[in-house]
Structure 1
């Protein structure tokens, strides 16, 4: 991954690095393939050994367990190496953490396995200093050269303040979507004052299919607050914006408007039922009238036929 963009993955069966993502080259360069095979191969074996030790300690040999590792490095604006870190987790439980830069090394053993010995820590420091960090920075520079226009782009967010009537009040949602990079500051204000996060729902950053992101925060407003007609404002700060983007809403007629929206659906259903009942009654009456006319017509026809028959007999 470079920032939030996948640039490739390592196939442990083929022991080969596979490019993936935008502007991915068709073939992998020889030095990139060698570096990837060494680094990913070494990490893969290390994770297998750690998983085996953890399964033995927790007597989990018959279960399905997950061993995770996240490793990454940073490059300063000057192009110099920054921080490199590595963290492990076993079944989503924190295991250990390593921080290293050119001047400082820090190791936290966590609480799942015994801490590393001094010899092991010296070896890990040497490994990060001479192999992991240089390879990571070199790979980061190559990816940045290929994806610079993509990862450095800035797409302005589109902001909406959505109101939806609900029983007992309304829901006010602040929605920002279609923005990149993904770091954004989205705040909902009431009369110019920020609303605390505990009162709102949502707040989870979600990806879109086009490489941008969206973020929504919602607040439930009761009928009393609607009567008070507060000023609700959705304010957004983003790298693509020179100034904050604000969208405001004030309830126009308070609870009456919301009550109308909430009650309109049941009233519509009652009206539909009444209309259907009238239609059924009219149809039944028309059907009964048609049957009566038919019976009368048949009776008249039989009476006329009988009179004609009697007349014929009398003439005879």
Structure 2
């Protein structure tokens, strides 16, 4: 008896832990800030410097050295950042024009083609990501004439050189001066800026997922349950399987992972493979998302879902029948009309 009580207590505690973890995952909100800076010039001059900033795939701000002005594309975001903050960023970009000119001069001068007069393009891509306001990733990529030659993951802290001809410049990137600048800028202008914006207001309205649940039987007799969530935003979501309202490990689970759609929404599919002897009854897919007030429960169909090729074939057959029916009715109408015309002439 004591052993059974311990097992029950352990099971209850384990499912409680799972429930708390699921709640935390659902409440976590993922955000990503991407900055892209492009410099075009020769060994003699810097012709253009432009920058663009995206948060959660939505354009936030842009900069061009011709106008020497930061343009914030979202009015309320400009108020959140404040005039002083935006002016400080602008002054930083103005101050770095000389550094970029130096970079253009040395890279173009020592470029493998030794073509000093041609235009070259240098790019810096920086991105940072948070989940539940905790930094999870931060990267920088350096690109020269369309080819990446250095990159660094902030967590690792080591520059990875990808082109042997640029290795001699790594001492500059590793110097204490540029290391301090890199860390300071990534914290202040990537992470802190994003936190200011998303902490005030969402850049995009929350969109609930469209969920479909299906049931299939594969050639080996196994039962395949699929739960698909489409078109949701933000990307943090939880899909889990329950049987008779209980959590558990019921079979072999696989997931597509959260994938982006073209409209900046997201997609996720999870499947559960059950052995042939399983009945497949009583299963539900439970979906939790910030756009849903409460977890949504979707029962699995009791009968296998019609396969898409059969559905498509049926749709085509019905469409052909409808088309032929309409054509036949039209021909019959034309014949009747022609017959009436002939009778009138007589």
- Tell whether the 8 Å contact from 1:185 to 1:237 is kept in structure 2 after alignment: yes
Q: Write out aligned runs for 1:168-187 (5 A).
A: 174-180=228-234, 182-184=235-237
Q: Write out aligned runs for 1:252-263 (5 A).
A: 254=306, 258=311, 260-263=314-317
- Within the alignment, does 1:137 sit opposite 2:191 as a pair? no
- Within the alignment, does 1:35 sit opposite 2:35 as a pair? no
Per the normalisation by structure 1, the TM-score is 0.57
What does residue 126 of structure 1 align with? 177
Structure 2 unaligned segments of length 5 or more: list them: 1-32, 34-53, 215-225, 242-249, 272-279
Deviations 1:62-98 (A, max 9, x none): 999764321246789999x997642123465432113
Residues 271 and 195 (structure 1 numbering): CA distance in 2 closer, same or farther, change over 3 Å? farther
SS in 1 for 2:125: strand
What is the distance in 2 between the residues matched to 1:76 and 1:268?
52
SS in 2 for 1:14: coil
- Tell whether the 8 Å contact from 1:10 to 1:16 is kept in structure 2 after alignment: yes
Residues 28 and 252 (structure 1 numbering): CA distance in 2 closer, same or farther, change over 3 Å? same
- Within the alignment, does 1:10 sit opposite 2:66 as a pair? no
CA RMSD of aligned residues (A): 5.2
Task: Report the count of equivalent residues.
Answer: 258
What does residue 318 of structure 2 align with? 264
Of 71, 80, 99, which aligns to 2:126? 71
Deviations 1:169-209 (A, max 9, x none): xxx993422422x3446799xx9754675xx9x9433345x
Residues 112 and 248 (structure 1 numbering): CA distance in 2 closer, same or farther, change over 3 Å? farther
Structure 1 unaligned segments of length 5 or more: list them: 164-171, 220-228, 293-316
| Greater gyration radius | 1
- Within the alignment, does 1:110 sit opposite 2:162 as a pair? yes
SS in 2 for 1:24: helix
Q: Write out aligned runs for 1:237-316 (5 A).
A: 238=289, 245=296, 247=298, 250=301, 254=306, 258=311, 260-292=314-346
CA shift at 1:269, angstroms?
1.2
Residues 65 and 74 (structure 1 numbering): CA distance in 2 closer, same or farther, change over 3 Å? same
What is the distance in 2 between the residues matched to 1:47 and 1:153?
38
SS in 2 for 1:286: helix
CA shift at 1:37, angstroms?
2.8
SS in 2 for 1:8: strand
CA shift at 1:28, angstroms?
3.4
CA shift at 1:267, angstroms?
0.7
What does residue 304 of structure 1 align with? none
* Structure showing greater relative contact order (alpha-carbon pairs closer than 8 Å, 6 or more residues apart): 2
- Tell whether the 8 Å contact from 1:109 to 1:116 is kept in structure 2 after alignment: no
Residues 116 and 161 (structure 1 numbering): CA distance in 2 closer, same or farther, change over 3 Å? same
- Tell whether the 8 Å contact from 1:161 to 1:234 is kept in structure 2 after alignment: no
What does residue 311 of structure 1 align with? none
What is the distance in 2 between the residues matched to 1:119 and 1:161?
54
What does residue 77 of structure 2 align with? 24
